Each structure stands twice: as structure tokens, then as C-alpha cells.
Structure 1
Amino acid sequence: MKKNLFYLFALICSMSLFTACSDDDDAPDYSKVIESEIAGNYKGTLDIKLEGTTIASGLPKNITISKAGNSTINLLLANFSLMGMDLGDIELKDCQLSQKDNSYSFTGIQSLNIEKYQLKADVKATGTIVDGTITVQLDIAAKLNGLSQNVQVTYEGTKMTGNESSEAKITAFTFESELVTERPVINEEDGTIVFKVDEDATAADLSALVPVITVSEGAIVTPKSGEAKDFSNGNKIVYTVLSEDYSQMKTYTVFVAGTQKVREYSFDEWTKDLSQTDEKAQFPIIGTDHNNPLWTSCNQAVMLIKTLGMLGGITYTGDYPVRPTDDAVSGKAILMESVFTTGGAIFGTPVPKVTAATAFLGTFNAMAAVTEGDPMLSTKFGIMFPDKPLEVRGFFKYTAGTPFYNKEGVEVDKKDECAISAVLYEIENEEETLHGGNIYTATNIVASAIFNSGDQQDYTPFSLKLAYHKEYDTTKKYKFAVILSASKDGAAYEAAVGSKLFVDNVSIICE
């Protein structure tokens, strides 16, 4: 049946289908109407039926109408194709218009007799144009090798203004899913869109992914944006973009290109330093085991100020700077608030005017500042990390505090900012570590990223994509640090009182 249909259309379209619809003599003069209202390019769709059965529906196609005479038009359906076959142009020439109210009609009849293919066909065309909308019906009664076949082609379209875009592109393709670890990458040249997913994502997870798609202005994408598709088991989904003027069409093949490892930190669980008998010394700890916290904070330093500050004439009775909060994206979040610790010294070790609230992957040894004479040595940044980190993601919001104090403890006119950073560095042994004095300058740093921000009222996603300065070697040992600070220059003893950084749902994406 398909072969018969192919022959029918190929033969019809290889000829001048409608050589003369009617005579233009003594007909009404529609010249102005044709030029101003009818002639032009139309965009629409084709529906095709064979013996009453729909074999194609909604095929996008353009039709061009041009002036043939004072009351006649030409109609061109160019580059007609079906089932991937190019069947040429269909033309209706010198078609006589008739008018009823604001509706213009035209007809055409053609008989075919092609002995070579034993094909006989009577083709009847009828059409109407009303207020820029065109409908064309082709009724084809054919006999091919003695077999009778009836074909109907229906076209409906609207006249274009000429301002329609001819671009057919997917400009953005995203998923609002944490399972997608590497955002889709659009390759225009190859016509592909690839992305990576969490290695723990199941087939059921991947079969329900919902893409959000942005296309060129006025373009149409199929399947449409917001429609769930099955990307499991290596499935490749083909998306087709049709330009606004229907002149261009582009396809994209979308599929999962691999998996990645994900480490997630929700900050939902907290405990206290239960090793301290003095309740005011039991500072908040992230995690459920005070001996093995998931993240370390500057709370230990503030605990020493609370308990030993009197030895240096320092009194601080406020909150610990790093603590849990219900103001979160989900569950609990981590709140870091830079606090006024008055300044001074304990056992000769300087105490900042404002202690910048900080949480990080690593360990904290407040006594190192006393025993080794350098406060920077108290922060031991980084944990052993067996995977290659690519990106750190999460959500944050921030409010800068006031007043702002410089390292001399003098109030200055400066606006505070938060900082979120990540550093991967190579080590020879597990005892080796970077500290507050060299975490951003050491020669063994392999990759790093940093993000700064001023006030951000609502929770907003952040992303740190690590820039690799040296080649990653799977045979070597590495430590990885993620550092969250409510005052970006806090390590230099510069911060504002009350600067608040909220962070939630941090993920580390690894190769």
C-alpha cells in the first residue's frame, strides 16, 4: 500500500499538476485584494488519508500564493515529502477566484493517464481563503495496475506577516532534578544533547525525568517541554524543533552520557560537644557524632573565648556563630553569623574584634594558635578524598551585617560579603594539611573555585565548578576542602557584626 502511494504522489508531483484552473477573461478584478490580502506565504499542516485511513497527520508545511492575473492566483506546495521521500513540488496555476462575502474560493481539476506505470487518476482541488486562513482539499481517485485507490490531502494554514523567525534551535535544556549531576550540554554541530546522572539513579528514576526546554522565538518543539520521557537503559529521545515560519527544522538526540558520584550534605542532623561538662562550652556540631563531625566550624574557637576570655579581659556570652536553623530549603540548614568578640588576646594569641562564622570540611585545633603562635594553624582544611571532584552545588542566602571592622579593629565604611570556596590539593601522607595561611596559595593545589556574594534575600542555587590547575592522577593522594564563610575576609580578621550566611543541601559531584 505504501509503495502504491509513493508511485501515486511521485507521478503527480513530477508533472505540472494544475496547468490551468480556469479562464481569466471577463472575470471580476480582484487585483488589489490579491496583492494586499491573499498573496504571500502561509504556514500550516497536512493531513493525508489513504482509503479513509489516516497515514500522516499534522505535517508542517508552507504554501506560497502569488498573483497570476487580475482574478487568478498560483499556489505552490514546494518540496513535498512523505515518509522521508522527496516528492517534488505541487503547483496550482491560474486558479480563478470567486467571492462570497469575505471568503474567496478556487477549484482545479486534472486528469492523469501515465501508461508507463499503468496509472490513471482524476484529481480535484478545492480551496478557500478567509481572512488570511487557507484550506485546500485534494481528492485523488486513482487506478494503479487496475487497483482503485482514493487519497485525500487536506491542508490548513495561515498567512504569515513576514516577521516570523526562521531559526530552529533548542537554546536551553534543563532538568529540575537532583539526579541530573551534569547539566545537559547542547552540541549544535552534532545535533546532540547529553547529560550525566547520579550513579545511584534507578531505571524508574530515569524513566520519569521531565525536561524544561527553551527554543528559538516562536519555534515549536516536539515532544514538548515539561513532558516526561524515558531516559533509562540508554534510551535516546529525538526532539524536533520547527521554526516560527516553518521554513527550518532541526532534530536533537538527547541521552544520558554517563554517571557520576554524588556526596550530599543536608545539615539536618546536629549534636553538641558532649565531651565538655560545662554547658556553655557544648557548642553545636554538624552530624550525630561529636567525636566525628561531618563538618568543622569556628565554634571551638568561640568556645575558648567564652571559657578562657576572662584571662585576657574578654567577655562574650552570645550565640555560637555556627548553628542549625529551621529557615531552610528542606529540614534544617546551617546558619553562620559573624559575632562581636570584642578583640584582645588570650595567652598572647590575638582575638579578632569580629569572629567570622565559618564551616568547612576539615578539622579545627584552637590550641594550635596558642602552642604554635599562629592563629592560621588552627584551621586544618580538607578531608581525604578518593574521587575527582568536579562541582560543588547547594543553596544559600545572605545578609551583610554592620558595622564592619578591619584587622586593626577599627570600624570602617565597607560592605561585607560571604565566600564559598573549594580546594583540592595533593598530599604525600594523610597527616599533611593546608591551613588558613596557605589554603589558597600552596603550590600543591590541584584545583579550586571560589564564589562571593553580597546580600541575597531568598535561597538561591550556587555552583562551584572546579578549575584544574594540574592534571589529576588517580595514583596520588588528595585532600578536598569546602569552606563556607559569612565574611570573606574573616581569616584576615576583617568582618561585619551580624553578617549571616545560610547554606543548605550541599552536593559534591565527582567523576
Structure 2
Amino acid sequence: MKLTSLIFCLFLTLSLTSCIQDEALNAEADIVTCTVPGDVLNRDPIIENDKITLIVKGGTDISVLAPSFTLTPGATIIPANGSVLDFTTPQYYEVTSQDRQWTKKYEVGVTFSGVSNTKYHFENVKFNKSGKYHVFYETDVQGKENMTWASGNEGFSLTGLTDENGESIKANAYPTSQTDNGVVGKCLKLQTLETGALGALMGMKIAAGNLFLGSFTVNISDILKSTKFGMQFSYVPTYLKGYYKYKRGKVFQDNGTVIPDKKDICDIYAVFYETDEKMQILDGTNVLAEDNKYIVSIARINDARETEEWIEFNLPFVYREGKTIDPEKLRAGKYNLAIVFSSSIRGDHFEGAPGSTLYIDEVELGYEE
């Protein structure tokens, strides 16, 4: 009996050892989280596929930052965690997977928190890293880029749609792009599009064109949380005005299901809200929620319509009941501002009419001290 038990234990030990030896090493090489020592960040870092943006408070010495990263299990990083680097220009990190077979490079850059421009002409675009779609940005008085707009183009790029020649679609065929014939010069073009077979497979059959202050990182498990709305703003917003043209698509869909007689419409709005440790930024689940206690005021169009001519909109910020602005928190950078444009008002829920197109130009944000 004892010999039998001994043999069984030996067999079990060898089996477990074999399982451990045969267990595959992790092949992922991703940065999961990022932290920076000291009270220098205005909000959590924005972690994208191959890029990280550190949003720091005004006055921060960015020549001596020492970020640390949480990596996928077993992965390593160069330069090492906590290395002091000069971020006056972007720094590059290389992550190597546990099995040593895969590496991934990240660009880590720094931007100072806050909305730095209040007039938007949509004349400046660059291409994303893969060269597929337009990214809108603003410049300072010296012409240097100082603020970047976000859109859902990154998500649309995953559909893999091609043109009639089987080639990748051009930038002007994306939901968010730049086009000619603005009020002055070029302008913003937003269009609601079908997402093809892959989009249908994922249950996301349409994509509305959008542009907003904030960031976008694809979150397949909860697509509404892909959009992060807002940037720090140290003034009191009073109005949002500009020009728009709009043409709705012919057939309204609710995620692919045709809804007879329902008509699409665009959306233009801005949200001013308070932040704290528990809530640093709004997303698609709560940016307009009636019960969101952080929202202070909203400016939103309520009479949008089809028009072939440019129409001026002038939207005052309306305070929610009982809300006021705390001057001390304002000076401390505890308020954020989101500005949002969309070709379909319910596009974030995959509702809208393919072909709906919104043009925006010459936008101005009013504010007071």
C-alpha cells in the first residue's frame, strides 16, 4: 500500500512538473498602466495602442520626469521603469514579451493640461501614424501644435473596409475628415457610414462621424467608454458659436434595422464639469446624463435642421439647477470642458442614417475670468 502511494505521488509530481514546464510563456508586450511620481498629472495618462500621453499641470518641469509602467505579465521594458528622462521631446520605450519573441514600441509624450485655444478653424490636419485618416489639431501663435482633437476614426479603421479596387479607403472616406469649401478655407466634415461585414459581426453596423475634445481608445467590451470627453479649462465658458451645414441620410437605422419614417439629425454641444479623484473624465455613458452630479453647465443645439447653406449657431451655457462654480477649484484646475460634434445624434448607440453629413467651421468658445 505504501509503495503504491509512493508511486502515485511520484507520478503526480512528475505530471505537475511537466505541466509547469510545458506552460507557454506570455507573448503579450503591452503597457497596462502608467504613473508619474509627484502631483504633476492633471488626469490619468491616455494609453493607446502604441502611444501614451501624459497630461501634466501647468508649470511642471517636464525635463526630469520618471514614469513607471505596469506591463503584461513577464514583460520587460527599456528604458527601465523610473528612469528620469527629458520629455521636452517624446521619449520611446520598447516592451519585450515574456517569451522574448515579441517587442512593441511606445511613444510617450507630454502635453500641458487645458484647453489652450478658443477659436477653431479646422485648417490643420495630419495623418495618424498608419497614414489612414485625418487628425485635427490646433496651433499657438507661433504655429506650433498645441492641442489635438479626438475622433472615432481609430475604431472605424478596424473595419478594414476597401474601395472598389480592393485598396484601403482614403482619408476622406472616413467618418471624420477635412474638406474644402468652408466658410473660410477648409472645414470639418462628419459623415455617418455603414461599417461593413466586420462591423456587423461586432454588432456595430454604423459609425457616426464625430470630433471632440478628449481622447478615443477602442474598448470593444464597452464601446461607450471608448470616448473620453473633456480637457481641463480654467475659465468660465459662456457660449459656443460657429457655422454648420447638414444633410441627413435617406434611411434611418437602429444598428442595421430600418426604422421607417424616423429622421436623423446632427448634434452640437459642450459640457462644463467638475472633477475629483473619483471622477476625472466623462465618457459616452455619462457625458449628458441627467443624474450626473459633476456636470455644471451645458451648451447644446436644440433646433438643428437640414440646410444647404451655412447657418450660424450660438449656444449659451445653461447651468443645471443648483450648480455654481467654485473659484478655488477653478484656479486649481478642477474643471473640464468637452466640445462635441456628431453627424448623428444617436450615433454612439449605432443609430442614424448612413449618408448623414455635417459640416462645421469657424467655431468660437466664449468665456470669462
* TM interval, short-chain normalised: 0.5 to 0.7
Letter in 2 for 1:499: S
What is the rounded CA distance, in whole Å, between the counterparts of 1:353 and 1:293 in structure 2? 31
Q: Percent identity?
A: 31
Any conservation in 1 of the 2:175–2:190 contact (CA below 8 Å)?
A: yes
Q: Specify which of 267, 275, 282 is matched with residue 122 of structure 2.
A: 267
Q: Residue 377 of structure 1 contacts residue 435 of structure 1 at CA under 8 Å; is this kept in 2?
A: yes
**Structure 2 matches for 1:452-463, cutoff 5 A?**
452=302, 453-463=304-314
Q: What secondary structure does 1:377 align onto?
A: helix
1:365 is matched with which residue?
Answer: 217
Partner-residue secondary structure (3-state), 1:296: coil
- CA change 1:415–1:307 in 2 (3 A) is closer
1:68-92 deviations in Å (ceiling 9; x for gaps):
xxxxxxxxxxxxxxxxxxxxxxxxx
Instruction: Compute the displacement of 1:267 (Å).
Output: 0.5
For residue 408 of structure 1, report the CA deviation from its aligned partner: 5.5
1:412–1:285 distance in 2 versus 1, CA, 3 Å? same
Change in Cα spacing, 1:320 to 1:408, as seen in structure 2 (3 Å) is closer
The answer (yes or no) to whether the contact 2:161–2:195 under 8 Å persists in 1 is no
Question: Against the structure 1 CA distance between its residues 355 and 291, is the aligned structure 2 distance closer, same or farther, given a 3 Å change threshold?
Answer: farther
CA distance in structure 1 between the partners assigned to 2:124 and 2:145 by the alignment: 14
CA contact (8 A) 2:161 2:196 kept: no
- Give the match for residue 356 of structure 1: 208
- After TM superposition, give the deviation of residue 343 of structure 1 in Å: 6.1
In the TM superposition, what are the counterparts of 1:368-387 in structure 2 within 5 Å? 369-370=219-220, 373-387=221-235
Cα distance change of structure 1 residues 272 and 422 upon mapping to structure 2, 3 Å threshold: same
CA deviation vs aligned residue, 1:86-124 (integer Å, no higher than 9, x gap):
xxxxxxxxxxxxxxxxxxxxxxxxxxxxxxxxxxxxxxx
2:247 alignment partner AA = T
Supply the distance in 2 between the matched residues of 1:332 and 1:379 (Cα, whole angstroms).
26
Once the two structures are TM-superposed, the CA of residue 263 in structure 1 deviates from its matched residue by 1.2
Shift of 1:297: 1.1
Any gaps of 5 or more consecutive residues in structure 2? 1-115
Structure 1's 402 and 342: CA in aligned 2 closer, same or farther, altered over 3 A? farther
1:471 has 2:324 as partner:
yes
Q: Among 277, 285, 302, which residue is 1:437 paired with?
A: 285
Task: Give me the whole-angstrom Cα distance separating, in 2, the residues matched to 1:382 and 1:354.
Answer: 24
Secondary structure (helix, strand or coil) at the match of 1:306 reads: coil
Give CA-to-partner distance per residue, 1:223-282, whole Å, 9 cap, x none: xxxxxxxxxxxxxxxxxxxxxxxxxxxxxxxxxxxxxx9810110111101x22xx4xx2
Whether 1:321 and 2:175 are equivalent positions in the alignment is: yes
Counterpart position of 1:506: 363
* TM-score, normalised by the number of residues in structure 2: 0.58
Judge conservation of contact 1:362–1:481 (CA < 8 Å) in 2. yes
What whole-Å deviation, never above 9, does each CA across 1:335-391 have from its counterpart, x for those lacking one?
001111136559x8x44222111111111011xx23xx1100000001111111010
* Aligned match of 1:416: 264
Give the aligned residue type for 2:158: L
Task: Return 5+ residue gaps in structure 1 as ranges.
Answer: 1-260, 309-314
Q: Is the 8 A contact 1:341 1:351 kept in 2?
A: no
Change (3 A) 1:413 1:454: same
Aligned AA for 1:296?
A
Q: 1:307 to 1:399 in 2, by over 3 A?
A: closer
Distance 1:332 1:444, change over 3 A: same
Cα pair 1:343 1:352 within 8 Å, conserved: no
1:412, distance to aligned residue in structure 2 (A): 3.2
Q: What does 1:151-162 align with in structure 2 at a 5 Å threshold?
A: none
Letter aligned with residue 136 of structure 2: I
Tell me the secondary structure at the aligned position of residue 505 of structure 1. Answer: strand
Counterparts in 2 of 1:463 and 1:429: CA distance versus 1, 3 Å: farther
Identify if the C-alpha distance between structure 1 residues 384 and 335 changes in structure 2 by more than 3 Å, giving closer, same or farther: same
